[in-house]
A = this chain, B = another copy of it.
Amino acid sequence: MIWTRHHVLSLAEFTPEEYDTVLQTASSFREVLSRRTKKVPTLQGQVVANLFFEPSTRTRSSFELAAKRLSADTLNFAPGSSSLTKGETILDTAKTYLAMGTDMMVIRHKEAGVPQAIADEMDRLGVKVGVLNAGDGQHEHPSQGLLDLFTICSLLDPNNPRLELLQNKKIAIVGDILHSRVARSNIWSLTASGADVHLAAPPTLLPKWFTNFVADDALPRKLSLHWSLDPAIADADFVMTLRLQKERMATHLLPSLREYHQQFGITRDRLKLSQPDVKVLHPGPVNRGVEISSDLMDDPEFSLISQQVTSGVAVRMALLYLMGGGKAG
**Interface residue ranges, A against B (CB under 8 Å):** 33, 35-39, 44-47, 49, 55-58, 61-62, 64-65, 68-69, 73, 75, 77-78, 80-83, 86-89, 92-93, 95-101, 243, 246, 284-288, 306-310, 312-313
Contact = CB atoms under 8 A, between A and B. Distances in A.
A56 B81 contact: yes
B285 A87 contact: yes
A65 B100 contact: yes
A309 B163 CA distance: 44
A58 B96 contact: yes
Contacts of A308: 99
B57 A78 contact: yes
B313 A100 contact: yes
Contacts of A96: 58, 284-285, 309
Contacts of A246: 87
A38 B101 contact: yes
A118 to B, nearest CB: 15
A81 B55 contact: yes
A45 B310 CA distance: 16
Nearest to A88: B285
B57 A309 contact: no
Nearest to A83: B285
A310 to B, nearest CB: 5
A286 to B, nearest CB: 6
Given A87-B285, A286-B92, A44 B33 contact: no
A87 B45 contact: no
Given A65-B73, A65-B75, A101-B65, A306 B95 contact: yes
Given A38-B47, A61-B75, A285 B100 contact: no
B100 A284 contact: no
A97 B310 CA distance: 9
Pick the 6 closest A-B CB pairs, nearest first: A37-B45, A55-B81, A99-B309, A88-B285, A83-B285, A57-B82
Contacts of A99: 306-310
Contact of A35 (B45, B57, B95): B45
A175 to B, nearest CB: 15
Contacts of A65: 47, 73, 75, 100-101
A56 B284 CA distance: 27
Contacts of A38: 45-47, 101
A275 B102 CA distance: 33
A75 B309 CA distance: 15
Nearest to A314: B101
A47 B69 CA distance: 10
Contacts of A46: 36-38
Given A61-B100, A96-B284, 18 more contacts: A36-B46, A37-B45, A45-B69, A57-B77, A57-B78, A61-B97, A62-B100, A65-B73, A65-B75, A80-B80, A83-B284, A87-B246, A87-B287, A89-B288, A92-B285, A98-B306, A99-B308, A99-B310
